[in-house]
Amino acid sequence: MQGKDAIRSAMKFCDMVYRGYMSDLDDAELLRRPSEGCNHIAWQTGHLISSEVSLLDSIAPGKAYQLPDGFAEAHAKDKADNDDPSAFLGRDEYLALWDEVRAATLKAIDEMSDEDLDAESPEHFRGFCPTVGDVIILISTHPMMHAGQIVPLRRQLGKPVLF
């Protein structure tokens, strides 16, 4: 297995877990907060999508999927406390957009050489992601940082244990 194969494998696994946790949540459940101080799943999913686009654009300008107007702003940190259902998408819309964003990311990864992956990341990332490859790994694993926040909600709702 080569480096890009491992990245794609990690990305596929993280997608499987996150999407699995969302698979039986309805649109109203996406707006429930798992606990006080936690973000609801709709905001988190939009944040993951927006972050992936922003991160990829920072290391491969012009390669990221172009989000609909206002999407990134609706899922910015200062909007995390918004509970208005009209400000968010439904599960199927989020997952369809996720697929589009992921396809652009995978295409960009396929076009990168080992030298590209070894290149220095943008300066503001270097403290925790020193190379372009490290930023790609962050993109790949970021959903797992949020997947654990879905589990308490699933328990509250009586959903089955999946993994």
| Position 47 in a domain | yes
Q: Which residues contact 43 (CB under 8 A, 6 or more apart)?
A: 75, 79, 80, 82, 88
Question: Does 98 map to a domain?
Answer: yes
pLDDT in tens, 36-91: 889 999 999 999 999 999 999 999 999 999 999 999 999 999 999 999 999 999 99
Residue 89 within any structural domain of the chain: yes
Residues contacting 119, CB < 8 A, separation 6+: 131, 132
Average pLDDT over residues 24-43: 95
**Domain assignment present for 45:** yes
Nearest to 98 by CA among 58, 53, 149, 62: 53
What are the pLDDT digits (tens) for 117-154? 999 999 999 999 999 999 999 999 999 999 999 999 99
Q: Residue 109 belongs to what domain range?
A: 3-156
Residue 33 covered by a domain = yes
In a domain, 72, yes or no: yes
CA distance 59 to 112: 11
Per DSSP, 128 falls in state T
Rounded CA gap, 112 and 117, in Å?
A: 7
The token pair that represents 90 in the structure block = 């439904």
pLDDT at 1: 86
CA 77 – CA 80 distance, rounded (Å): 5
**Which residue is associated with the tokens 């990305």?**
11
pTM higher than 0.75, yes or no?
A: yes
Report the alpha-carbon distance of residue 47 to residue 67 in Å, rounded. Answer: 12
The domain total for the chain is 1
Q: Specify if 162 maps to a domain.
A: no
The CATH number of the domain holding residue 23 is: 1.20.120.450
Q: Residue 161: inside a domain, yes or no?
A: no
Q: Which of 122, 117, 7 is nearest to 57 (CA)?
A: 122
